[in-house]
Amino acid sequence: MKLSVTRDSLHKGMGAVSATIPTKTTLPVLSNILLEAKDGKLTLSGTDLDISVSVSIEAEVEAEGSVTVPAKKFAEIARELPAAPVHITADGVEIRIESGKSRFKLFGLPTEEFPTFPEVDSGDSWSMQASDLHELISKTSFAVSSEESRPILNGVLWQLADGTASMVATNGHRLARLSVPLEGGGAPDADLIVPPKALQQVGRLFEKEGEVSVSRSKNHLAFRTPSRSVYTRLIEGPYPNYQQVIPTDNDKKATANKDNLAAAIRRMAVVASDQTHRVRMSFSEGTLSFRVQTPDLGEAEEEMPVDYGGEELEIGFNANYLLEVLRYMPGDDVLVEFKAPERAATFRPAGGELDYLCLVMPLRLLD
C-alpha cells in the first residue's frame, strides 16, 4: 500500500473515527484502525463490535492495499505532523509515515483479524435530512437512562410511522420526545431502539446539510453518506409504553422566558441538596416564586414574572432535570403545563416551533 494525503484531511478523518475505538478491550485488534487505500480514497474504519464507523478521504493512491494501525498513536502522529503532504506506505504489518522531515514506523496487526462490518442491505433504506437527524438526536438523547438495571431505557426509541420520525428517551424521571415529518417517504413503520453512543457518532460525523441514507437489517442500523458510514447494533426488546405517562389533562399553564427561567433555577441550584437537587416552585397570578431550603447548608429565594392565571400551586422539581430540558428547548419562551404537585409536568416551546415535548416528574415537597 502506498499513498499520499493532506495532513488536515488525515487529522480530521482520524478524529472522526477515534471516538469509536474502545479504551479497554480484550481484543488487541479493536485498538487499531483499519486503513484501506483504493480508487483514489483512503478509508479509515474503527469498531467496538457494537458500533462501527468508516470515513473516506481523498488520497493519491499509488498502490492499493490495507493495513491496521494502532489508533491512539496514529491519531497522535496525525495531530502533530507539520502542514505538509503525508506519505503512507505499508508492507505486511509495518506502516511508515513521512511528512516533511518527520519519519515514523508503526507496527499493526494482520488485516484478517479486523472484524468485518455488519451487512446492512441498502435496499431496505430511506433518506432523511441531516438537519432533522441532528435535531432528533440532540433534543432527546440527553434523557436516556444510565442505569444498567433497565437496559431498554439505555437506548433511544426511534419510531417511524405515518410519514413521521419520532425519537423518545427517558430514565423514568424525565422524558424527551421530538417528532419531524419524513420528506420523501420510503421509511418502513418500525420501532427501533438505538444506543445513544451510536447516535452521538452520527451527530459528530455527519454535517447538518444534505441527506443521510438510513438502512436497517434485523439487528443493525446503518447511516450512510458517500464518504461516511455508521453501523450500530440495535437494542432488542419492547420499549415501555411511554405515551401512557404523558398527561393529557394538565389544566394549569404558565409561559415564561426560557433564559430567565434557566438563570433563576441555576441560582437556586447553588444551595440545593446534592442528593435531590430539589427546588420548590410556587405559581401564582403573574408570578413564579422559587425557594430552596437545605439543612446545614442554607436557603435561597427568588421571584420572576410569568404568564399564569390559574390557581396557586406549589410543586418541586430536580433542578438539574429542569436545566437540561431548558437547554434543549427551542425558542424564547417555554410553556409549562401541570395539574397537581404529585403529577408530571410537561414543557413545550411556547411558539410551537417544533413538535417537541419534555416531561419531568415532580419531587415530594418537605414542609
CATH number at residue 202: 3.10.150.10
Residue 231 to residue 21: CA distance in whole angstroms:
14
Among 159, 213, 156, smallest CA distance to 184 is for 213
pLDDT of 124 > 80? The answer is no
Tell whether 270 and 230 lie within a shared domain: no
Question: Residue 3 is which amino acid?
Answer: L
Segment 187-202 shows an average pLDDT of 93
Tell whether 149 and 184 lie within a shared domain: yes
The answer for residues whose C-beta is within 8 angstroms of residue 94's C-beta and 6 or more apart is 105, 106, 107, 108
- Whether residue 366 is contained in a domain is answered as no
Q: For the chain, what percent of residues have pLDDT higher than 70?
A: 99
CB burial of residue 116 (10 Å; 0-12, 13-18, 19+): exposed
Q: For the chain, what percent of residues have pLDDT higher than 90?
A: 87
Q: Which of 242, 264, 293 is the last residue of a domain?
A: 242
Tell whether 12 and 97 lie within a shared domain: yes
**Angle at CA 253, nearest 5°, toward 247 and 256?**
120
Tell whether 153 and 101 lie within a shared domain: no
Segment 35-56 shows an average pLDDT of 97
What is the band of 367 on the pLDDT scale with cuts at 50, 70, 90?
low
Tell whether 24 and 106 lie within a shared domain: yes
Under DSSP, the state recorded for 235 is P
Tell whether 90 and 145 lie within a shared domain: no
Residue 162 to residue 183: CA distance in whole angstroms:
11
Length of the chain as a residue count? 367
Q: What is the mean pLDDT of the chain?
A: 94
Among 235, 211, 243, 209, smallest CA distance to 224 is for 211
At 225-260, the pLDDT tens digits run 999 999 999 999 999 999 999 999 999 999 999 999
Contact between residue 20 and residue 77 where contact means Cβ atoms under 8 Å apart? no
Q: Tell me, what's the pLDDT at 227? A: 95
Find the domain containing 131 and state its range. 125-242
Q: Which of 177, 209, 242 is the last residue of a domain?
A: 242
Q: Tell me, what's the pLDDT at 351? A: 86
- Whether residue 119 is contained in a domain is answered as no
Q: Tell me, what's the pLDDT at 263? A: 98
3-state SS, residue 41: strand
pLDDT of 82 > 80? The answer is yes
Q: Tell me, what's the pLDDT at 338? A: 95
| Run of H or E including 352 | none
At 308-362, the pLDDT tens digits run 999 999 999 999 999 999 999 999 999 999 999 999 999 999 988 789 999 999 9
Tell whether 68 and 145 lie within a shared domain: no
Tell me the DSSP string of 284-330. ETTEEEEEEEETTTEEEEEEEE-EE-S--EEEEEEHHHHHHHHHH--
Tell whether 238 and 256 lie within a shared domain: no
pLDDT of 123 > 80? The answer is no
Residue keyed to cell 424521571: 173
Residue burial 50-63, b: 16+ Cβ < 10 Å; e: rest: bbbbbbbbebebee
Structurally, how many domains does the chain consist of? 3
Tell whether 226 and 258 lie within a shared domain: no
Tell whether 230 and 304 lie within a shared domain: no
Segment 269-289 shows an average pLDDT of 95
Q: Tell me, what's the pLDDT at 148? A: 83
DSSP bridge pairs for 305: 287
Tell whether 292 and 341 lie within a shared domain: yes
Q: Which of 81, 113, 145 is the last residue of a domain?
A: 113
Supply the pTM of this predicted model: 0.91
- Whether residue 120 is contained in a domain is answered as no
Contact between residue 337 and residue 253 where contact means Cβ atoms under 8 Å apart? yes
- Whether residue 288 is contained in a domain is answered as yes
Q: Tell me, what's the pLDDT at 98? A: 96
What cell does 238 get?
419492547
Segment 1-8 shows an average pLDDT of 96
At 133-165, the pLDDT tens digits run 999 999 999 999 998 888 899 999 999 998 899
Alpha carbon of 78 to those of 67, 72, 358: distances in Å? 16, 10, 42
What is the band of 365 on the pLDDT scale with cuts at 50, 70, 90?
confident
Tell whether 36 and 72 lie within a shared domain: yes
